[in-house]
Amino acid sequence: MADINGKKLAAERAVDYIQQDMIIGLGTGSTAYWAIQKIGTKVKEGLRIKAIATSRESEKLATDLQIPLTSFAENNILDLTIDGADEVDKNFNLIKGGGGALLREKIVAAASTRFIVVVDESKIVEQLGKFPLPVEVVPFAFERTIQTIRSLGCIPRIRLAENKFYLTDNGNYIIDCEFEDIAHPDALHTRLNLIPGVVDNGLFVNMANIVVIGNLNGTVEVRTR
Ligand code: 5RP
C-alpha cells in the first residue's frame, strides 16, 4: 500500500470549499503546496478564481500552474485562504511561520472571510509551544530586540540559512523562540507585538474558522468553529 500523506489528504479536501469566482489566499509550506497543486488542476479544468500568495515561493508555484493572481490593490477582501500550520490547539489557535512566511500569511488570513487550516495529525497539540514560536523582527537593533524577547521567558535563536541570517520575503529576520508551553496565546501575542522591533509573531489567535486534519489511517477530520 502506498504511504498515506496526511498533508495531501487535508489540503485536497480543503480545496472542495472553493467556488467559482472566489478570491483565494494561497498558503506557504509543504501542506499548502498540495492545495495549490489541486487548485492548479481545477483551474485547468475550468475553475475561475483569482489568488493572492503568502510568499514568493507560493507565488512562483501558482504562476507555474497558471493560477491567475491578483493583488491587494485590486482586492481587499479574500473569500477563502487555505494554509498550513506548525501547531494547532483545541481552540483553533495556531503557531505558524516554520516556513518563514508568517507576516504575509497573517495579513492574508486576516483579510479572508474564511481561513481554512490544513494539517496532518502530528500538528494537533494540547497546548501550543513545543514548536519554537517564530517572531519576525526588523534587522535594525535586532540584538536588543532579542534580549527583550528573552525577558518574556523563552530561549530565542536567530534563524540561519546557509550560515547567514535567514531573510524573510520582507527583508526581516526570524527569531525562533522556545517557550515550551504557551498557556495564554492571546496575551503572549500582544506582549510580543508591543516590543519595538518586532514586526509580528507566529501566533494566530481567533483566526482559523476550519481545521482540516489528514490522518495516517487515510481518514480526514473537519473541525469547524
Ligand atoms: C510557513 C508556515 C507553514 O504553514 C507551516 O510552517 C507548516 O508547514 P508545512 O505545511 O510544511 O508543515 O507557517 O510560514
Catalytic residues: 105
One DSSP character per residue, 139-160 reads STTHHHHHHHHHTTT-EEEE-E
The Cα–Cα gap between 42 and 116 comes to 18
pLDDT tens string, the chain, 225 residues long: the values are 568 999 999 999 999 999 999 999 999 999 999 999 999 999 999 999 999 999 999 999 999 999 999 999 999 999 999 999 999 999 999 999 999 999 999 999 999 999 999 999 999 999 999 999 999 999 999 999 999 999 999 999 999 999 999 999 999 999 999 999 999 999 999 999 999 999 999 999 999 999 999 999 999 999 999
Would you mind telling me the total number of residues written for the chain in this entry? Answer: 225
The Cα–Cα gap between 27 and 82 comes to 6
- How many angstroms does the Cα of residue 29 sit away from the middle of ligand 1? 4
Phi, psi for 155 (deg, rounded to 5): -100, 110
Q: What is the pTM of this model?
A: 0.97
Per-residue pLDDT, 3: 86
Q: Which residues line ligand 1 (CB under 6 A)?
A: 7, 27-32, 83-86, 96-102, 105
- How many angstroms does the Cα of residue 140 sit away from the middle of ligand 1? 26
Per-residue pLDDT, 132: 98
- How many angstroms does the Cα of residue 50 sit away from the middle of ligand 1? 22
Which residue lies with its CA nearest to atom 8 of ligand 1?
29
* 2 DSSP 8-state letter: P
